[in-house]
């Protein structure tokens, strides 16, 4: 129930919406009630889309939506609707496309103006309260929009019609179907090289995002081909990101992106999905190159996620950590003045840390030039030479300085952690943890990933209703709202269940993967045109432009829905032999094949799916429970290849009732190996059993068609 000091958002479950409950704006949540009010009162809709981690969303809230004069204009002339983009990605994606078409702008806060039917006719992103920075003031915009709606209804209706028509065509991909050729991979790789920043690593200039999908594609291609150009791109990018300020040098984990091309000054929010996908990149980078530093970064990402984004009691991964404490700071929690470091560290520690992390009187932050972003300015060897110290002494001083600085930082007011548990993002984190746990031999990460997956399956899955998008909200006192799962939720969860099966050999996870995959086909597949819609095709009550059909194809920044569906279905086909899985996967990829190369690095996950389509699935099954079996599992896991799956089974598990259909038909009929052995199966047939680790290594090199000299150094990196 709302009070005199709160609006309708006091009843919301989303942390972002609840943060605006005190505002004088008469906010509504997205729903039929809001649009019915707009039709009844003949008012346009002001739609604000943002997120709890979004700095400029909070700036606009304080400058404009907290302002009584702005509130008066809004309340008199508009029906105001506020949406959390994390809670409702379906709404966000469509209105982002609409506003981008209208204004050429996108991002958050998204400010859109809609007809009472929810059709967009004008919009932008952040508006200052008054004319500033070349942007029109929000009060002036509001009054002009209200006047246009009253006096130029025909023009408004025509603009809304044109934008809606554009939306309905933009991502249907009708007429772009083509054969899925491996040449598409070369086009994506060419785009990556054309955008590659050889000096600083990564792609493009400022602002710079990590692009983990295309990075994974490049890492796998390097592992397969040993092309030195690929090796340089991969290693340089992974090194520069992890040594930059975009990486948290004290606590671990990556910020969302860098505002400069050098990876030094980040936008300080930290997202679960960025860190899950970058965790995979660094694990795969370790496998492909043998560089122990990449393994250390992967462990550090897990360390941060364990501490800040994990529900240690129930399982589950939280959504994000905010950048700021309040609107007066800009990442102050994460940055340091020289005076702060001097007060905390010994003389030698300060000397070493200031050179290594570039801590000086003048730092990098515009709002407070004394504040320094920690990044690796000088490596340990250079610091040792400059200070006349042994490298080991420098390492020890750096370790003690980091420990003191991290402890001091923990005593600062902490940026808000959104403890909402989202199905799709949790699935991404589960998959990343399971992969890291297997390669780096981290039992605690494996255990927590499985607990988290079990929670999602127990709380988000319903056999009749399907998946929920939200498992649990950040505020436990908020009334839980059911938000239907989108395509990403199904695709990511099917993949996580397959990863869990391969990590545990527990058939229940495979069976769940198949149930989720079948539900995904039933609810989202375009039976006529191929591919998969982002929303359930038969859902009723699609307000505004939610009826516009979308087939998500490009990474943004999470892996794209349709390529992930294709990967999941190809993996299911590999275990079941069910032809319809492969047929739907290939058709989904064909839908986009005519335009895929135009998307370049944003088609990274699509490239991964194409690679899997043309590379036969390789299943490595190790049977046994002794030391030899452990060594065989270790060798099988070492090389990185998209099309390789490793199952480590106890001896009693090789029975039809414990295996997926394809393995149930094959494995029990193999000859007795008289002890632990590896069985390498591809194309629905298996090689003779192999019981020697070196022989298995050679066999995998032959089958995977690549000399992985770096993979052989994995044992050193794991220690």
Closest among 60, 107, 79, 62 to 8, alpha carbons compared:
79
Is pLDDT at 400 greater than 50 in this prediction?
Answer: yes
Supply 558's token pair. 């999470």
What pLDDT does residue 717 have? 38
* pLDDT range class, residue 683, cuts 50, 70, 90: confident
Percent of the chain with pLDDT over 70: 96
Closest among 340, 376, 480, 359 to 420, alpha carbons compared:
480
For residue range 194-232, list pLDDT tens digits in order. 999 999 999 999 999 999 999 999 999 999 999 999 999
Q: Can you tell me the mean pLDDT for 414-442?
A: 97
Q: Does residue 453 or residue 713 have the better pLDDT? A: 453
299 CA to centre of own chain:
18
What pLDDT does residue 706 have? 46
CA–CA dist 352, 363 (Å, integer) = 17
Percent of the chain with pLDDT over 90: 83
Q: Can you tell me the mean pLDDT for 352-377?
A: 97
Supply 626's token pair. 């002794």
Is pLDDT at 707 greater than 70 in this prediction?
Answer: no
For residue range 568-582, list pLDDT tens digits in order. 999 999 999 999 999
Is pLDDT at 671 greater than 70 in this prediction?
Answer: no
What pLDDT does residue 337 have? 98
Is pLDDT at 716 greater than 50 in this prediction?
Answer: no
What pLDDT does residue 675 have? 80
The answer to whether domain 8-170 and domain 618-718 are alike in fold is: yes
The answer to whether the bond into 549 is cis (omega within 30° of 0) is no
DSSP string, 178-201: ----THHHHHHHHHHHHHB-TTT-
Global pTM value: 0.95
Q: Can you tell me the mean pLDDT for 640-650?
A: 93
What pLDDT does residue 711 have? 38
For residue range 107-155, list pLDDT tens digits in order. 999 999 999 999 999 999 999 988 877 778 999 999 999 999 999 999 9
What pLDDT does residue 540 have? 65
Q: Is the dihedral of CA 441, 447, 449, 454 positive or negative?
A: positive
Distances (CA, A) of 353 to 344, 346, 358, 400, 540: 11, 10, 8, 10, 59
Q: Domains of the chain: which residue ranges?
A: 8-170, 334-412, 618-718
* Side-chain-facing half-sphere of 703: CA atoms under 13 Å: 25
Q: Does residue 308 or residue 688 have the better pLDDT? A: 308
Edge-to-edge strands of the sheet including 618-623?
A: 644-649, 618-623, 677-682, 685-686
Is pLDDT at 493 greater than 80 in this prediction?
Answer: yes
Q: Does residue 458 or residue 177 have the better pLDDT? A: 458
Is pLDDT at 713 greater than 80 in this prediction?
Answer: no
Is pLDDT at 40 greater than 80 in this prediction?
Answer: yes
SS (H, E, C) 407-449: HHHHCCCCCCEECCEEHHHHHHHHHHHHHHHHHHCCHHHHHHH
CA–CA dist 351, 399 (Å, integer) = 13
Within 10 angstroms of residue 14's Cβ, the number of other Cβ atoms is 28
Check: CATH 3.40.30.10 for 8-170?
yes
What pLDDT does residue 718 have? 38
For residue range 164-194, list pLDDT tens digits in order. 998 888 776 777 899 999 999 999 999 999 9
Query: Which CATH architecture best describes the domain 334-412?
Result: Orthogonal Bundle (1.10)
Edge-to-edge strands of the sheet including 270-271?
A: 270-271, 320-321, 417-418
Distances (CA, A) of 52 to 59, 64, 125, 151: 12, 17, 16, 36
Q: Does residue 704 or residue 483 have the better pLDDT? A: 483
What pLDDT does residue 685 have? 76
Q: Does residue 458 or residue 714 have the better pLDDT? A: 458
Q: Which residue has the tokens 């239907």?
A: 484
Q: Report the chain's mean pLDDT, rounded to a whole number.
A: 93
Q: Can you tell me the mean pLDDT for 554-580?
A: 96
What pLDDT does residue 712 have? 37
Q: Can you tell me the mean pLDDT for 371-384?
A: 97
Is pLDDT at 532 greater than 50 in this prediction?
Answer: yes
Least confident residue range of 8-17, 466-475, 677-686: 677-686
Q: Can you tell me the mean pLDDT for 503-520?
A: 97
DSSP string, 541-578: ---TTTTS-----S-SSSPPHHHHHHHHHHHHHHHH--
* pLDDT range class, residue 714, cuts 50, 70, 90: very low
Beta strands 270-271 and 266-267 are unpaired
For residue range 459-479, list pLDDT tens digits in order. 999 999 999 999 999 988 877
Within 10 angstroms of residue 462's Cβ, the number of other Cβ atoms is 11
> DSSP character for 332?
T
Q: What fold does the segment set 618-718 form as a domain? A: Glutaredoxin (3.40.30)
């Amino acid at each position: 129930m709302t009070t005199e000091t709160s609006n309708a958002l006091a009843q919301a479950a989303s942390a972002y919406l609840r943060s605006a409950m005190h505002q004088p704006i008469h906010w509504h949540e997205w729903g039929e009630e809001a649009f019915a009010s707009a039709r009844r009162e003949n008012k346009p809709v002001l739609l604000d889309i943002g997120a709890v981690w979004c700095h400029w969303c909070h700036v606009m809230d304080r400058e404009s939506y907290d302002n009584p004069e702005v509130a008066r204009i809004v309340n008199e002339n508009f029906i105001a609707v506020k949406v959390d983009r994390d809670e409702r990605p379906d709404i966000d994606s469509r209105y982002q496309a609409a506003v981008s078409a209208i204004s050429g702008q996108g991002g958050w806060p998204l400010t859109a103006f809609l007809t009472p039917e929810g059709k967009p006719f004008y919009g932008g992103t952040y508006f200052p309260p008054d004319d500033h920075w070349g942007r029109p003031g929000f009060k002036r915009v509001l009054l002009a929009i209200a006047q246009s709606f009253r006096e130029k209804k025909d023009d408004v209706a025509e603009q809304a019609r044109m934008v809606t028509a554009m939306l309905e065509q933009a991502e249907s991909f009708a007429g772009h179907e083509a054969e899925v050729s491996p040449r598409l991979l070369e086009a994506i790789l060419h785009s990556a090289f054309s955008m590659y920043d050889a000096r600083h690593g990564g792609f493009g200039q400022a602002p710079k995002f990590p692009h983990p999908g295309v990075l994974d594609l490049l890492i796998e291609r390097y592992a397969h081909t040993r092309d030195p150009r690929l090796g340089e791109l991969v290693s340089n990018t992974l090194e520069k990101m992890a040594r930059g300020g975009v990486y948290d040098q004290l606590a671990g984990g990556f910020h969302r992106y860098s505002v400069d091309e050098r990876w030094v000054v980040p936008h300080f929010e930290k997202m679960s999905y960025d860190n899950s996908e970058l965790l995979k990149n660094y694990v795969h980078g370790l496998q492909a190159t043998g560089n122990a530093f990449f393994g250390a970064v992967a462990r550090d990402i897990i360390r941060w996620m364990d501490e800040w984004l994990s529900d240690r009691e129930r399982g589950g991964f939280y959504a994000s950590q905010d950048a700021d404490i309040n609107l007066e700071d800009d990442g102050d929690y994460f940055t340091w003045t020289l005076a702060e470091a001097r007060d905390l560290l010994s003389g030698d520690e300060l000397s070493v840390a200031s050179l290594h992390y570039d801590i000086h009187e003048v730092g990098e932050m515009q709002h407070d030039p004394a504040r320094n972003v920690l990044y690796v300015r000088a490596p340990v060897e250079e610091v040792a030479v400059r200070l006349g110290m042994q490298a080991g002494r420098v390492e020890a001083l750096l370790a003690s300085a980091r420990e003191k600085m991290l402890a001091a930082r923990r005593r600062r007011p902490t940026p808000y952690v959104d403890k909402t548990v989202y199905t799709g993002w949790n699935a991404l984190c589960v998959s990343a943890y399971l992969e890291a746990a297997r390669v780096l031999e981290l039992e605690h990460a494996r255990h927590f990933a499985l607990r988290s997956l079990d929670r999602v399956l127990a709380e988000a899955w319903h056999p009749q209703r399907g998946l929920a998008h939200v498992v649990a909200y950040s505020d436990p006192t908020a009334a839980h709202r059911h938000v239907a799962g989108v395509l990403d939720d199904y695709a990511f969860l099917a993949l996580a269940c397959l990863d869990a099966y391969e990590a545990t050999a527990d058939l229940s996870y495979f069976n769940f993967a198949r149930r989720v995959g079948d539900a995904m086909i039933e609810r989202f597949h375009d039976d006529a045109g191929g591919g998969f819609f982002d929303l359930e095709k038969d859902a009723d009550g699609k307000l505004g432009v939610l009826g516009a059909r979308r087939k998500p194809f490009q990474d943004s920044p999470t892996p794209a829905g349709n390529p992930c569906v294709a990967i999941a279905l190809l993996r299911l086909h590999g275990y079941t032999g069910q032809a319809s899985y492969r047929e739907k996967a290939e058709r989904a990829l064909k839908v986009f094949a005519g335009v895929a190369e135009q998307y370049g690095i944003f088609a990274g996950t699509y490239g991964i799916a194409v690679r899997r389509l043309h590379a036969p699935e390789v299943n490595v099954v190790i049977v046994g429970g002794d030391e030899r079996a452990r060594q065989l599992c270790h060798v099988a896991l070492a090389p990185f290849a998209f099309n390789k799956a490793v199952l480590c089974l106890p001896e009693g598990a090789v029975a039809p009732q414990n295996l997926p259909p394809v393995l149930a038909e094959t494995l029990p009929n193999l000859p007795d190996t008289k002890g632990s052995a590896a069985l390498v199966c591809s194309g629905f047939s298996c090689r003779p059993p192999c019981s020697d680790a070196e022989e298995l290594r050679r066999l995998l090199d032959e089958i995977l068609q690549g000399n992985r000299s770096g993979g052989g150094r994995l044992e050193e990196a794991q220690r």
